[in-house]
Amino acid sequence: MEKKPHFVRREFLPREVPYISLALLLAAVLLLNALLYLYLNKFYSSLGRVETDPGLCPFGHFKFGAVKNCSPWLSCEAINREVRKLKCVGEGAVKKVFLSEWKEKKVVLSQLTNAELKEDFLHGLKMLKALQSKHVVRLLGYCEQQFTILTEYHPLGSLRGLNETLHIPKYKGMNTWHRRLMLAIDYVSVIRYLHSSPLGTLVMCDSNDLDKVLSQYLLTSDFHVLVNDLDALPLVNRSAGRLVKCGHRELRGEFVAPEQRWPYGEDVPFEDDLMPPYDEKTDIWKIPDVSNFFLGHVEGSDIVRLHLFDIHAACKKKDPAERPSAQEVLDTYRKVLTLLIREAAMPGTREML
């Protein structure tokens, strides 16, 4: 009897294997996408600095550390009796700042140093009380009569020391494009919050150069950004025709927005009364410069800058009306983070498909 040729199995097997491999690859991609979705959900809820924080206390109260219950803001009497100054850690035009201790916890005591600037000091206190959120340093108490404010202590200090902090062995693992971009997202989230705050559209006026901007923000121990200094935070009210001017002196340099500079040339002496007011888009102009500082020069940071090129170019439009809103900038930053995390999680997937 003649034997039948055994070629059927050999003919179909090579065709079946690629289909199985492709199916497995697609399944892996779907699984990675699901894991990425869960990760980003967690990121935006825990790291995205959402305003609605169940850990926040009712107005006039605070809690921090491992304490579960909310306590009322400390009064003049309580501050004088229970808070002990340890050392001076900073001094600006408006106030002097002391590292202090309250019930064995480190806190920060700020006191007015220049009586002529008491209105600025009280304005900062008013903003601090009204804007308590995940974006703002926690208020623990105050004494208007003695021009004193008590706030939570953050040992890593202001953002001016970010690069030095990231070179400390304990924090070197944080020195990545991913973590740096998250800090930039935090910063833009603060600007977005101020532009749509419960009080209305607020402009961050203490921002005439990069060093000044960085000094207004704190770096928390879990690597988030909080705004700390709210002394110069005027309100824009377009419906009432109210715009702002950041101070009464001439502003110079490329860091400040074009509309903040004297528009009448060198031949005309600066006069505050002739200086046109402006709106919150001055904050948008400064975002690319601040974000460039955040991104630093680590591996991958240039790729992030490339993805942010268009939105940063829009932020630098000479006409303020053509610049994006803080919300639009924040949305773009988040999309770029999502895209880059996906590419990092699935390198080469596009070519394989």
- The per-residue pLDDT for range 103-154, each reduced to its tens digit, is 999 999 999 999 899 999 999 999 999 999 999 999 999 999 999 999 999 9
Q: Is the pLDDT of residue 260 over 80?
A: yes
Average pLDDT score over the chain: 88
Q: Is the pLDDT of residue 268 over 80?
A: yes
Q: Is the pLDDT of residue 51 over 90?
A: no
**pLDDT value, residue 339:** 95
**pLDDT value, residue 130:** 96
Rounded to whole angstroms, how far apart are CA atoms 131 and 268? 40
Q: How many CB atoms lie within 10 A of CB 300?
A: 15
Where do the CATH 3.30.200.20 domains begin and end in the chain? 71-153
Query: How sure is the predictor about 227, in pLDDT bands with cuts at 50, 70 and 90?
Result: very high
DSSP structural state of residue 149:
E
**166-206 pLDDT tens trace:** 999 999 999 999 999 999 999 999 999 999 999 999 999 99
Rounded to whole angstroms, how far apart are CA atoms 2 and 75? 105
Q: Is the pLDDT of residue 39 over 90?
A: no
**pLDDT value, residue 37:** 52
Query: How sure is the predictor about 18, in pLDDT bands with cuts at 50, 70 and 90?
Result: low
Reported for 142-148, long-range contacts at CB under 8 A and 24+ positions apart, including other chains, are: 142/73, 142/74, 142/79, 143/75, 143/76, 143/79, 143/80, 145/76, 146/76, 146/80, 146/111, 147/95, 147/111, 147/112, 147/118, 147/121, 147/122, 148/76, 148/79, 148/109, 148/110, 148/111, 148/112
Question: What is 71-153's CATH number?
Answer: 3.30.200.20
**pLDDT value, residue 32:** 59
Rounded to whole angstroms, how far apart are CA atoms 250 and 305? 32
Q: How many CB atoms lie within 10 A of CB 67?
A: 11
**pLDDT value, residue 95:** 92
Where do the CATH 1.10.510.10 domains begin and end in the chain? 154-346
Q: Would you say domain 154-346 falls under CATH 1.10.510.10?
A: yes
**pLDDT value, residue 52:** 47
Query: Phi and psi for 342 in degrees, rounded to 5?
Result: -60, -45
Contacts of 342 (CB under 8 A, 6+ apart): 33, 36
**pLDDT value, residue 101:** 97
Lowest-pLDDT range, 5-9, 259-263, 338-342?
A: 5-9
pTM of the model: 0.84
Higher pLDDT, 342 or 310: 310
Mean pLDDT of 275-284: 97
Please provide the distance, in angstroms rounded to a whole number, between the alpha carbons at the two ends of the chain: 48
Query: How sure is the predictor about 294, in pLDDT bands with cuts at 50, 70 and 90?
Result: very high
| SS3 sequence of 198-267 | CCEEECCCCCCCHHHHHHCEEECCCCCEEECCCCCCCEEEHHHCECECCCCCCECCCCCCHHHECCCCCC
Query: Phi and psi for 112 in degrees, rounded to 5?
Result: -60, 135
Q: Is the pLDDT of residue 4 over 60?
A: no
Mean pLDDT of 19-35: 62
